[in-house]
Amino acid sequence: MALYDQHMHTWFSTDSQTDPADNVRQAIDLGLAGITFTDHLDTHPIEWPECRYNYEGLAKAVSDLRQRFGDRISIGLGIEVCYQPEQMDRILPFLDEHAFDLVILSVHWTQNRALHLPEHWTDWDIATITQAYLGTVLEAVHFVRDLAGQGRRPFDVLGHLDMVKRYTQRYRGGYDITGYADRIDEILRTCLDAGLVPEVNTSTLRQGLTETMPAGWIVRRYAELGGEAMSLGSDAHSPEHIAAGFETAASMLKENGIKQLAVFEQRVCKPCGL
């Protein structure tokens, strides 16, 4: 199995202190075929002052690492963009002006609240936040589909489709995604229309949940709707988490009808068999 970890962070993200070289060494030790660095571009007014995204620095690091390790592993330059509709006049030109292998679009905020900030949870219950979050995800993929209708494709992958469950579990002691199967269907159908590949994110497997983001039943539904390949990412913020849970995720993908990984190089999807 040629596995690629296409979601990880380094000291170019505010929430990581990892030297990119340490990620590469760990990935080689694990026998991965490739990795892609996807540090955060956070443009919400609260987060923007702390955003450390440095394209030139990361691009140079990737270039240097390719020279040192490129004969042993594929190393990609990517980015994880936080969906902020009010900031698209800033985000879209930035993406147009820089070269990437992969661009992930992720939803971390809904109704002007950040899922990861406990102070934003004072009056949220599981049902309220789950409905709000999935509504924002649907809004985001509709936005990408509308851009596709104009001949534009600034985003390649939808990150952690049902990430809300990570935080309802953390802050409210449980989660319920199955109750929103119709909304999930809308999201998956829109991804297919938009040419946006859903990611299977394994970070939940090391954070107290027993399923990936999204869960197997959502992967199965994506395959039933015609999806053929999905991206795979650990969302590692430190080297020891690279490819964590990948054997479980790869088996889950195959069991639910997805036989290929969507691997991106220079914004082109090159499916790789599982």
Rounded mean pLDDT of 195-223? 96
Residue-level pLDDT at 116: 85
The domain ranges of the chain are 4-273
Residue-level pLDDT at 65: 98
Is residue 84 scored above 90 in pLDDT?
yes
**φ/ψ of residue 117, rounded to 5:** -100, 110
The alpha helices in the chain, defined as continuous H runs, are: 20-30, 55-69, 88-97, 126-149, 164-172, 181-194, 216-224, 246-255
Q: For 99-109, write each residue's pLDDT tens digit.
A: 999 999 999 98
Q: Which residue has the higher pLDDT, 117 or 157?
A: 157
Rounded mean pLDDT of 48-61? 83
pLDDT band of residue 48 (cuts 50, 70, 90) is low
Q: pTM above the 0.85 mark?
A: yes
Percentage, residues of the chain above pLDDT 70? 97
Is residue 73 scored above 70 in pLDDT?
yes
CA dist 114 and 24 (Å) reads 30
Residue-level pLDDT at 49: 66
* CATH T-level topology, domain 4-273: TIM Barrel (3.20.20)
Q: For 169-178, write each residue's pLDDT tens digit.
A: 999 999 999 9
CA dist 267 and 254 (Å) reads 25
CA dist 166 and 73 (Å) reads 31
In terms of C-beta density within 10 A (0-12 exposed, 13-18 middle, 19 or more buried), how is residue 26 classed? buried
CA dist 163 and 83 (Å) reads 13
CA dist 260 and 258 (Å) reads 6
Residue-level pLDDT at 259: 94
Q: Which two tokens stand for residue 43?
A: 């443009």
- Is the separation of the CB atoms in 249 and 200 below 8 Å? yes
